[in-house]
């Protein structure tokens, strides 16, 4: 069975601070994919990144960066110089190309960025 | 269309009434997924379709929930004899194939409120 754990329920930071959102996953498959989604107060799900299990390179996209470490089964997400518009719930999700073929989501981390 | 279209945005029903939600996948996408997001942010996979055929229904509560994807019609998710616990946001997603190489695109969700 697969599982995604986002231990941080809520994080509050002040604008311009850096913040890291943790994601730990469990799966017995060797081929899998990890995702991050953003859910702003308006409710829609915004796709941020997809990473497959064979690509452990870290990725940077503007103020966003992701650290994938298979050794610790973690896929952490860092926002540099946070902004008020980053306030949202962030979900980490796991996907396997076998079996159910559906996303397994973590419980989300609510990020509040104060001005 | 270029987006997954879910209707209605918000649906209010009294306990025991029927609720029907609709999802029009992106044109050319043959896979449709339904997820339920309850108030504590937990996502639960319900069912998926490959065209009009059920692909995986292992997450579907069989007693009151049913779903269809018929040719040339939006997909639908129907809940009979609704209960308070059915209050949630129901997301539909579509993809070209059930692999992570073709990621799932999410609609904006339907918020179902059972009074």
Do residues A6 and A23 make contact, with C-beta atoms less than 8 angstroms apart? yes
Q: Is B22 on the interface with A (CB under 8 A)?
A: no
Q: Which chain A positions have a beta carbon within 8 Å of B58's beta carbon?
A: 100
The pLDDT assigned to A100 comes to: 75
Q: Is A55 on the interface with B (CB under 8 A)?
A: no
The pLDDT assigned to A99 comes to: 76
* Burial class (CB within 10 angstroms; exposed 0-12, middle 13-18, buried 19+) of B102: middle
Do residues B75 and B66 make contact, with C-beta atoms less than 8 angstroms apart? no
**Cβ count within 10 A of residue B12:** 13
Q: How confident is the model at residue B36 (pLDDT cuts 50, 70, 90)?
A: very high
Question: Above pLDDT 70, what percent of chain A?
Answer: 100
User: For residues B53 and B102, which has the higher predicted lDDT (pLDDT)?
Assistant: B53
Q: Is B113 on the interface with A (CB under 8 A)?
A: no
Nearest to B48 among A35, A102, A108 (CB): A102
| B89: preceding bond cis by omega (within 30 degrees) | no
Tokens found for residue A88 = 């949202």
First to last CA, chain A: 41
* Rounded-to-integer distance, Cα B53 and Cα A80, Å: 45
Interface with chain A: mutation pick from B5, B31, B37, B41, highest number of A CBs within 10 Å: B41
Do residues A103 and A93 make contact, with C-beta atoms less than 8 angstroms apart? yes
Q: How confident is the model at residue B44 (pLDDT cuts 50, 70, 90)?
A: very high
pLDDT of residue B2 exceeding 90: no
Q: Is B98 on the interface with A (CB under 8 A)?
A: yes
* Rounded-to-integer distance, Cα B36 and Cα B111, Å: 10
Do residues B59 and B65 make contact, with C-beta atoms less than 8 angstroms apart? no
pLDDT digits (tens, 9 = 90+) for A6-46: 999 999 999 999 999 999 999 998 889 999 999 999 999 99
């Amino acid at each position: 069975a697969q599982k995604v754990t986002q231990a941080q329920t809520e994080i509050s930071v002040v604008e311009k601070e850096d913040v890291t959102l943790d994601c730990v996953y469990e799966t017995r498959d060797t081929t899998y994919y990890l995702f991050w989604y953003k859910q702003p107060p308006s409710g829609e799900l915004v796709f941020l990144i997809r990473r497959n299990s064979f690509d452990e390179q870290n990725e940077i996209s503007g103020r966003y960066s992701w650290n994938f470490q298979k050794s610790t089964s973690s896929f952490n997400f860092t926002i540099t110089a946070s902004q008020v518009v980053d306030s949202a719930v962030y979900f980490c999700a796991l996907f396997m190309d076998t079996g159910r073929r559906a996303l397994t989501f973590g419980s989300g981390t609510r990020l509040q960025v104060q001005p | 269309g270029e987006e997954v279209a879910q209707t209605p945005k918000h649906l209010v029903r009294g306990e025991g009434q029927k609720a029907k939600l609709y999802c029009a996948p992106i044109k050319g996408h043959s896979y449709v997924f339904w997820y339920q997001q309850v108030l504590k942010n937990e996502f639960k996979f319900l069912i998926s379709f490959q065209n009009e055929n059920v692909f995986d229904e292992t997450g579907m509560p069989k007693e009151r929930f049913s779903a269809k994807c018929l040719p040339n019609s939006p997909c639908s998710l129907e809940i009979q004899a609704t209960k308070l616990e059915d209050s949630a946001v129901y997301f539909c997603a579509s993809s070209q194939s059930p692999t992570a190489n073709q990621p799932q695109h999410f609609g904006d969700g339907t918020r179902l409120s059972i009074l």
